[in-house]
Chain A
């Protein structure tokens, strides 16, 4: 069995073992302390794994290659995400308090999203100039404009009641900043998905599919968190946690896949 298949199976096994902690009926049986003790470190582990392999992938490109810059930016973004997650783990497991919102973790998560957006835009530029026959207008232009329109409508729809019901302050600002930065991250992600479709059947497509699925899951988690926390709807924390964990796992798998094909 090759390295890629072994890694696939390990990730599947990790998913099967971790999912019950977040899903009914086991989530209720195990309770929040178990979810916090397992979920926080698991998310941190997969983020660090993703950052490490994105950095390793960057080193495989020549020093002046723009692809190296893009993968390095991806690694930095994931490292910043890891710092945010580490802050949450310290709150929950070391200080034994519920992580506050807003908190120091947000000082890492927001810049992380900005760096990841820069990384994806950089990668799109690199691919567009690769000399491979991508249709710039259809693959980049129309997909970008279409996804901006659809996602913008969804985010506006979700955020309207959040703004209306909020008392303002930093919490509202962050609850707007997260979905908006996710929207900005999803647009280049969906363009990359279109690029991946043109590369279907090849190992590069697997990398991008995994990364895009990860970014979509994180965006879904952020939008759900913003909506339900400002609307005062509780009891969905475990599902939101699962979305983040699935997102980080998928991004880690993508980074590992890039290392496999370049190695």
Chain B
């Protein structure tokens, strides 16, 4: 998937809890650490990125809430994929 498509979806999911600045910084920092900061993210990279973000989120809101935030992000990404395939 294109980073320009997926990154805003992840940031939107994290922003209500971490704020928009930290949401963006967290996605960029983890992408950089995982060496997936290019213009495209593959499925494995995306999964690893969201796992790392979930670990960070857990510290602030506990496992249940962080799991539900991640589910919401995955569903937005799936929705975008479906829309992309349909068009």
> Which of A's residues lie within 8 Å of B, judged by CB?
60-62, 65, 67, 126-127, 129-133, 198-205, 261-263
Contact = CB atoms under 8 A, between A and B. Distances in A.
Interface string B50-63: 00100110111111
Contacts of A261: 17, 60-61, 65
B4 interface: no
B25 interface: yes
B1 to A, nearest CB: 23
A61, A62, A131, A263 pick with most chain B CB within 10 angstroms: A131
Given A201-B20, A202-B22, A204-B17, A131 B60 contact: no
Interface of B is mostly: helix
Contacts, number: 79
Nearest to B25: A133
A133 B28 CA distance: 9
Given A62-B62, A131-B30, A202 B16 contact: yes
Interface of B: 15-23, 25-26, 28-30, 52, 55-56, 58-65
Contact of B17 (A60, A129, A202): A202
22 contacts: A60-B61, A60-B62, A65-B62, A67-B62, A130-B60, A131-B52, A132-B26, A132-B29, A132-B56, A133-B28, A133-B29, A198-B19, A198-B22, A198-B25, A199-B18, A201-B15, A201-B21, A202-B16, A202-B20, A204-B19, A261-B65, A262-B62
